[in-house]
Each structure stands twice: as structure tokens, then as C-alpha cells.
Structure 1
Amino acid sequence: MPNTARWAATLTLTATAVCAPLSGSALAAPNAPASLYAPSALVMTTGHGQSAAVATPQRAVTLSCAPSASGSHPDATDACADLRAVGGDLSQLSPRAGVFCTKLYDPVVVTVQGVWQGKRVDYERTFTNECVKNSYGTAVFAF
């Protein structure tokens, strides 16, 4: 897939994930507050390769954590709990204790783009293999 098509797909998913939760505020009563929560909507992709520039995206999911966990992420509730525990800083996620992975080198790249509590998120990380990727946090990268 060309880079242009990959970026277009990512931007479309990001816009949908960020704007969809906000669109309900237009239907609210005129004097009601739009929302008590800052927007938290992320688009997460994964693919095999050394970086997002050369990896072929294999899966993309959405994750919205405010006001409640939702999206196409298979375990949105636990993923949101993991993110809240590190204040939305994906680089602070650490591997779970007691998880053992092989040393097989089959790089997997994860990208996360969107908004966490009103702040822009643009994250990319390459893991040595799928097992290592899934060991970070409880559920954030397990999709």
C-alpha cells in the first residue's frame, strides 16, 4: 500500500474517532454543557516492519476512553485503564511481569494517533516480535 493511501486511511480513521464522540453535542439541549470530559480518542495500527514508513498496516482499531471505554479495540476497558494509569503517556507502559517471549526477531510496529484528554498523541514504536508487543500494559497493544 503506498504511503499516501496509508496516511489517508489513518487520517480518516483519526478524524472519525475524534469527531464521532463530539458530534452528539450538537444534539444536546441548548443550555446543557457539551461534555464534562476532555476528548480521548485514538486510532491504533499495527504491522510488520522496522518502521511505519516501510511496514504494511495489518490491523487498525479505534479506542475512545471518555466518558466511557468504547471503540473497535477488543478490550477497550482494560486498554483505557492502562492508559489512565500512565496518564496517557504510551512510552511509560512497561512489560508485564512473568511474560516470557522468544528472541525471534520479527519486528512489529505500532502507531497511535489521536487525542488523549484534549492533547494530541502521535506515537510510534517498533517491538522485536508480536509477543513482546502484547506484553506491554495489560491490553493497550493487544489487538
Structure 2
Amino acid sequence: MQMSWHRRMLAAATVAAALSISALWVAPAQPSARNGTYFYMVMYRGGRASGPVESEMTLTCFPEGGNHPDPGGACMALREVGGDFGRLKIAHADCTMEYSPVTIKVLGKWRDQRIKFIRIYPNRCLVAAMSDWVLNFP
């Protein structure tokens, strides 16, 4: 029994669609993996690095990218401290003294050096200000 031309085209299109979807699902992006500089940053509500995620973002440097609101500025600030989030400068910001703690967790690599940074901040505004706007979550 021979398949009609329309059935063969439909079968081929179905197989092609399934293969392209599975390829997208199997191969997640590895931002800037070649040069070893990328970060995944998560903001958790409360004083623990678990629980409800309030926001998350990615940042790559060399070249700058990710979904960070200002990758160029963030990478420049990180270059000044050698990728050490704990040494970032405190920037001026008009933050309230509201106590609504958030926990920041950063995982990644800075020039092939593994980075793991976890810190609790009193509120979301102070996260950005106390990290020279590197941790300025959307």
C-alpha cells in the first residue's frame, strides 16, 4: 500500500516538528560558557535561600548579556572587584527603612572561578543599593 503525497508530507512535517521541539528542550542555553563568566541570580522572599522566588535574572560578561536590566554597568562594577559580590560598593539610593527581608543567592563563574554568594538584605531597595546596582532585580 502506497502513501499519498499529502500523507507523506504530513508525516514528514510531524517528524520535523517533533525533532525541533525535542532539540530545544534537550539543549538549554549555556550563557558565556566558553569564557567562564556567567551568573544566575535569585531573590527569595524572607530570610532563607529557599521558598517563594520573588525574582530571578541572568548576567553574562565578556560579552555583556543576559536578562539583567544593565549588563554593561553590572559587569563594569564586577570587574572593579574581581567578581567578588561581597566587595561591591554601596551606591546612593533613597530607600525606606521598611523591613521586608529578601535573600539573594548568586551562582556562577567569574573568569573560570566558581562563585556562590548568599546574603540576606532588609528590603529589596537595599539589595540594589548595597551591591552597586549589580543586584538590581527587575
Normalised to the residue count of structure 2, the TM-score between the two structures is 0.72
Cα distance in 2 for partners of 1:119, 1:16 equals 22
Residue aligning to 2:58: 62
Shift of 1:118: 0.2
Whichever of the two has the greater Rg, that structure is 2
RMSD: 2.0
Distance between the aligned counterparts of 1:111 and 1:136, measured in 2? 14
Q: What amino acid is aligned across from residue 142 of structure 1 in structure 2?
A: N
Q: Which amino acid aligns with 1:21?
A: S
Are the equivalent residues in 2 in contact too, given 1:78–1:138 (CA < 8 A)? no
> Which residue type is aligned with residue 32 of structure 2?
P
Alignment gaps of 5+ in structure 1: 1-14, 23-34
Q: Is the 8 A contact 1:47 1:110 kept in 2?
A: yes
In 2, the alpha carbon distance for the partners of 1:92 and 1:16 equals: 31
- The 5 A counterparts of 1:11-50 are 16=28, 19-22=30-33, 38-50=35-47
Match of 1:107 among 70, 77, 101: 101
Q: Is the 8 A contact 2:31 2:66 kept in 1?
A: no
C-alpha distance in 2 between matches for 1:16 and 1:122: 21
Counterpart AA for 1:51: R
CA distance in 1, matches of 2:59, 2:73: 11
Which among 66, 91, 96 is matched to residue 96 of structure 1?
91
Which of 49, 52, 59 is 2:49 aligned to?
A: 52
Superposed CA offset, 1:70-120 (max 9, x none) = 1111111111111111110000013214x3422221001111001111011
Secondary structure at the aligned position of 1:21 is classed as coil
**Separation of aligned partners in 2, 1:95 and 1:78:** 14
* Count of aligned residue pairs for this structure pair: 111
Equivalent of residue 66 in structure 2, options 58, 71, 77: 71
Q: Distance in 1 between matches of 2:81 and 2:113?
A: 14
Secondary structure of 1:140's match?
coil
Q: Give 1:32's aligned residue.
A: none
Q: Per-residue displacement from partner, 1:20-46 (whole Å, max 9, x unpaired)?
A: 434xxxxxxxxxxxx6xx410110111
- How far apart, CA to CA, are the structure 2 residues paired with 1:59 and 1:102? 20
Percent identity, aligned pairs only? Answer: 32
